Amino acid sequence: MATNRTFTMLKPDAVEKGHIGAILEQINSSGFRIVAMKLTQMTQDDARIFYAVHKERPFFGELVEYMTRGPIVAAVLEKENAVEDFRTLIGATNPDEAAEGTIRKKYAASIGENAVHGSDSNENARIESAFHFSGREMF
């Protein structure tokens, strides 16, 4: 996959609150092209694998419960400098520390329930995209 792609999830809290449309509008108007997208629900095994890097953290159980409690929107996004620019667009993990106008500042409730995921490197963008999509589902 080209390195000008990143992977995102609109997390269960964002879907529950009806924010899919507003968040996708902000993503599109910030210059990202949607390359793949689906509404899906992660199993507990999916969430444990996806977030395996955090398995020793005290919040891991809470994170798995949260990420599996309802549907998410998984998507692959394309833009020059996609990974870094998307992290800027979503803002800090803790919405209290997120910049004004960022997606987390606008839609996140807490450091745990923070509305949206964004890959932190080109390598993780590739791994995370492949976790949710096959090559033929990416346009």
- Determine if 27 is a binding residue for ligand IDP (CB under 6 A): no
Comparison of 53 and 137: residue with beta carbon closer to ligand IDP: 53
Candidate list 114, 126, 128, 132; residue touching ligand IDP; CB under 6 A: 114
Decide if 101 contacts 23 (C-beta within 8 A): no
Should residue 117 be labelled a site residue for ligand IDP when binding is judged by CB under 6 A?
Answer: yes
Whether 132 sits among the annotated catalytic residues: the reply is: no
Residue 135 main-chain phi, psi, to 5 deg: -55, -35
Q: Does 112 bind ligand IDP (CB under 6 A)?
A: yes
> Considering only 20-28, 30-38, 57-65, 130-138, which stretch makes contact with ligand IDP by CB under 6 A?
57-65
**Residue 11 to residues 14, 37, 41, 75, 113, Cα–Cα distance (Å):** 6, 13, 10, 11, 8
Interface residue with ligand IDP among 46, 71, 120, 121 (CB under 6 A) is: 120
Helix axes 82-90, 122-132, angle to 10 degrees: 80
Handedness of CA 83, 87, 88, 90 (dihedral sign): positive
Which amino acids are annotated catalytic?
117
Which residues lie near ligand IDP (CB under 6 A)? Answer: 54, 59, 62-63, 93, 111-112, 114, 117, 120
